[in-house]
Amino acid sequence: MISPEPIRVFWQPGCSSCLAAKEFLTAREVPFESINVRAAPTAMADLAALGVRTVPVVARGSDYVLAQDLDELARFVGVVFERDRLAPDALIERLHLLLDAAQRFVMALPPDALATPLRGREDRTWLSLAYHVSVIPEAFIDAAQGGELSYAYYERMPPAAVATSVAVAHCYRVIGERLALWWSNCAGQLPATLRTYYGTPPAITVLERTTWHVAQHTRQLESLVRQCGGDSSPGLGDAELGGLPLPRAVWDDEVAMSVA
């Protein structure tokens, strides 16, 4: 039986899974209190009281779910979430297409714009967003090879050697080569589960999340190119995005309100 207590969603700007969780609930008319942990004074203490330190978290009283996995979120709030999930080989192909697109977009960004802070995240820049795209598949591959996908991956900032678009593009090529080698060596067979900071979910769900996570930030890079008046062609289309459970919005509109 679902508790009558109100639902709270703890999120932060720039978090793709946070945006996806909020959109998921809104689309299914599940009411919730939206809590930006970077703006609400007691938010971090409230998270600590639950025993968690990461976002997104969807809580009902003292019960909560780490809402990176939309299937788990659906079960938590008691709604049906059915869809046709892309096969592993299709998701791997999408990742390669997305890394190629991200490389085009980052190379189209003006060099003097890379230090621009992201809206609502003064600690993150356009450069760190671009670098983050390469870290997402790295985290997945490390976990698939017996490691653990920790939240620390997603907090990584660009090292000193990665300070230009050329350096970021090189990161994309390196991780793309590693992805291809790993997929070839495992003969297209995923492990049953992976160790992650939000549990031990089926590997296919982590691969799907990895792919749409990369896709969402690549959409943002494309948006930044257009914002600068640059050439983003060829843009992202169904070949890269089709069939992925992406958020509707490219950017979180609630950020503007929460930092006003």
Q: Where are the domains of the chain?
A: 7-77, 88-244
The encoded tokens of residue 204 equal 């296919």
Surface-to-core class of residue 24, CB atoms within 10 Å of its CB (0-12 exposed, 13-18 middle, 19+ buried): buried
Q: Determine the Cα–Cα distance for residues 126 and 24; give it in Å rounded to an integer.
A: 26
Q: Which fold has domain 7-77?
A: Glutaredoxin (3.40.30)
- What is the pLDDT of the chain when averaged over all its residues? 93
Q: Determine the Cα–Cα distance for residues 252 and 36; give it in Å rounded to an integer.
A: 11
Q: How many CA atoms lie within 13 A of 128 on its CB side?
A: 16
Does pLDDT of 231 surpass 50?
Answer: yes
pLDDT (tens digit per residue) in 178-223: 999 999 999 989 999 999 999 999 999 999 999 999 999 999 999 9
Q: In sequence order, which residues have a C-beta less than 8 Å from that of residue 185 and are 6 or more positions away?
A: none
pLDDT (tens digit per residue) in 33-75: 999 998 999 999 999 999 998 999 999 999 999 998 899 999 9
CATH 3.30.70.260 assigned to domain 88-244? The reply is no
Does pLDDT of 256 surpass 90?
Answer: no
Specify the DSSP class assigned to residue 187.
T
pLDDT (tens digit per residue) in 130-176: 999 999 999 999 999 999 999 999 999 999 999 999 999 999 999 99
Q: Determine the Cα–Cα distance for residues 66 and 68; give it in Å rounded to an integer.
A: 6
Lowest mean pLDDT among 2-16, 78-92, 132-146, 203-217: 2-16
pLDDT at 5: 84
pLDDT (tens digit per residue) in 113-131: 999 999 888 889 999 999 9
Does pLDDT of 249 surpass 70?
Answer: yes
pLDDT at 119: 84
Does pLDDT of 3 surpass 70?
Answer: no
Specify the DSSP class assigned to residue 153.
G
Residue 60 · residue 6 · CB < 8 Å = yes
Question: Is this model's pTM higher than 0.85 or not?
Answer: yes
Q: In sequence order, which residues have a C-beta less than 8 Å from that of residue 173 and are 6 or more positions away?
A: 99, 103
pLDDT at 254: 81
